[in-house]
């Protein structure tokens, strides 16, 4: 079977800057995939290479079996760049129709496709409006509609929720969830909490290197407990020493104030959560939340 994306030894240099360093990566179609990494990690560069906007200095990127940027991918891949914008001069319907025509929709089919994608993002009423009449969240949804045009199989979204308030983030998440039944999304973002809610796997870049590809939920649920404590009068060190005495506990790490991740042998000690609750209660250390597994942030950055 042909993989959705197959990158082999991709290197990209901008002059003396090495933006991607020998990245090899295979991704399959399916649930949304997150692309993460600190500023300058190479995320936008990787997106641009996959879209065919840039050429690798060396290495190969195949998308659905075709060279990135090749004509065979026309209409099968779409991207929403981080700085994408709408033209303030034209109505939403007008500019989306133009885009539909560029995609190959002819005559009334272009208008029908625009109506279809506007309906998909629940903004049919904006057809005759100009961008200035829309909120930031609505404009992002219009840009998502543009990416959905022609029903591409692969959609790359660069920071789709940047600058959105929580209700709009939720709407965007739900739209992506619905659309991911028919397309594979790769989403680049710094919002790990949000990615965790939408994506199944994570591609982690750092300084141009591929640090790994993680299946979020599989890694999350075996052998880790995340505990958020109420305010404590004791030290992290006291808690760590005390918890390390519990059966099967191998490590306790404090990655944020009042929050720790406990690592344990889940095969031998499947009921550690119960023991932990009892232990905390005996010690008089009240906790707010106890979750099986680790957050995405803990998985990739600690």
Ligand X SMILES: Nc1ncnc2c1ncn2[C@@H]1O[C@H](COP(=O)(O)OP(=O)(O)OP(=O)(O)O)[C@@H](O)[C@H]1O
Segment contacting ligand X by CB under 6 A, of 33-41, 57-65, 92-100, 222-230: 33-41
Provide, rounded to whole angstroms, the least separation between the CB of residue 219 and ligand X.
22
* Gyration radius from the chain CA atoms: 23
Pick between residue 14 and residue 302 the one whose CB is nearest to ligand X. Answer: 14
3-state secondary structure of 209: strand
Provide, rounded to whole angstroms, the least separation between the CB of residue 174 and ligand X.
25
39 touches ligand X by CB under 6 A: yes
Q: Which residues pair with 139 in a beta bridge?
A: none
Task: State the pairing for strand pair 287-292/224-229.
Answer: antiparallel
Instruction: Return d(Cα 68, Cα 285) in angstroms, integer.
Output: 55
Among 17, 58, 182, 222, which residue interacts with ligand X (rule: CB under 6 A)? 17
Segment contacting ligand X by CB under 6 A, of 41-49, 61-69, 105-113, 267-275: 41-49
16 touches ligand X by CB under 6 A: no
57 touches ligand X by CB under 6 A: no
- Measured CA angle at 109 (ends 103, 156), to 5 deg: 35
Pick between residue 43 and residue 139 the one whose CB is nearest to ligand X. Answer: 43
157 touches ligand X by CB under 6 A: no
Q: What is the arrangement of strands in the sheet containing 5-14, beginning at the earlier edge strand?
A: 17-27, 5-14, 58-63, 66-67
Q: Which helix (H) or strand (E) holds 249?
A: strand 249-256
Pick between residue 17 and residue 278 the one whose CB is nearest to ligand X. Answer: 17
Among 37, 69, 152, 293, which residue interacts with ligand X (rule: CB under 6 A)? 37
Among 10, 27, 45, 220, which residue interacts with ligand X (rule: CB under 6 A)? 45
Q: How many residues bind ligand X (CB under 6 A)?
A: 11
Pick between residue 207 and residue 217 the one whose CB is nearest to ligand X. Answer: 207
Among 6, 22, 31, 40, which residue interacts with ligand X (rule: CB under 6 A)? 40
268 touches ligand X by CB under 6 A: no
Contact criterion met (CB below 8 Å) for 113 and 149:
yes
Among 19, 100, 142, 172, which residue interacts with ligand X (rule: CB under 6 A)? 19
Segment contacting ligand X by CB under 6 A, of 12-20, 104-112, 214-222, 285-293: 12-20
Segment contacting ligand X by CB under 6 A, of 11-19, 91-99, 118-126, 127-135: 11-19
41 touches ligand X by CB under 6 A: yes
Question: CA-CA-CA-CA torsion for 189, 193, 197, 200, nearest 10 degrees?
Answer: 60
Dig out the tokens for 81 from the structure. 């760049």
Contact criterion met (CB below 8 Å) for 163 and 132:
no
Other C-beta atoms lying within 10 Å of the C-beta of residue 207: 14
Report DSSP letters for 140-187, one per residue: HHHHHHHHHTT--SEEEEESTTTT--HHHHHHHHHHHHHHTTTSEEEE
Segment contacting ligand X by CB under 6 A, of 43-51, 55-63, 228-236, 237-245: 43-51
Q: Which residues pair with 25 in a beta bridge?
A: 7
14 touches ligand X by CB under 6 A: yes
Binding stretches for ligand X (CB under 6 A): 14, 17, 19, 37, 39-45
């Amino acid at each position: 079977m042909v993989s959705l994306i197959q990158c082999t030894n991709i290197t990209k240099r901008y002059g003396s800057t090495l933006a991607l360093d020998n990245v090899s990566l295979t991704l399959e179609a399916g649930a949304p995939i997150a692309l993460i990494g600190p500023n300058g990690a190479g995320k936008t560069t990787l997106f641009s290479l996959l879209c065919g906007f840039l050429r690798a200095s060396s290495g190969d990127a195949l998308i659905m079996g075709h060279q990135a940027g090749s004509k065979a991918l026309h209409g099968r891949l779409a991207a929403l760049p981080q700085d994408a914008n709408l033209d303030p001069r034209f109505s939403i319907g007008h500019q989306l129709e133009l885009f539909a025509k560029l995609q190959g929709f002819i005559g009334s089919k272009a208008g029908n496709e625009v109506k279809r994608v506007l309906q998909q993002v629940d903004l049919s009423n904006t057809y005759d409006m100009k961008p200035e009449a829309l909120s930031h969240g609505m404009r992002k949804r219009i840009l998502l509609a543009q990416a959905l045009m022609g029903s591409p199989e692969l959609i790359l979204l660069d920071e789709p929720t940047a600058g959105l308030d929580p209700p709009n983030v939720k709407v965007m998440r739900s739209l992506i969830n619905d659309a991911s039944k028919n397309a594979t999304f790769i989403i680049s973002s710094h919002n790990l909490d949000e990615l965790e809610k939408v994506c199944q796997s994570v591609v982690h870049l750092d300084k141009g290197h591929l640090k790994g590809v993680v299946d979020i939920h599989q890694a999350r649920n075996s052998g880790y407990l995340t505990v958020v404590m109420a305010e404590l009068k004791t030290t992290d060190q006291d808690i760590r020493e005390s918890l390390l005495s519990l059966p099967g506990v191998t490590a306790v790490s404090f990655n944020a104030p009042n929050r720790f991740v406990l690592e344990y042998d889940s095969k031998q000690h499947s009921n550690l959560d119960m023991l932990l609750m009892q232990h905390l209660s005996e010690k008089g250390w009240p906790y707010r939340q106890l979750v099986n597994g680790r957050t995405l942030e803990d998985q990739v950055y600690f």
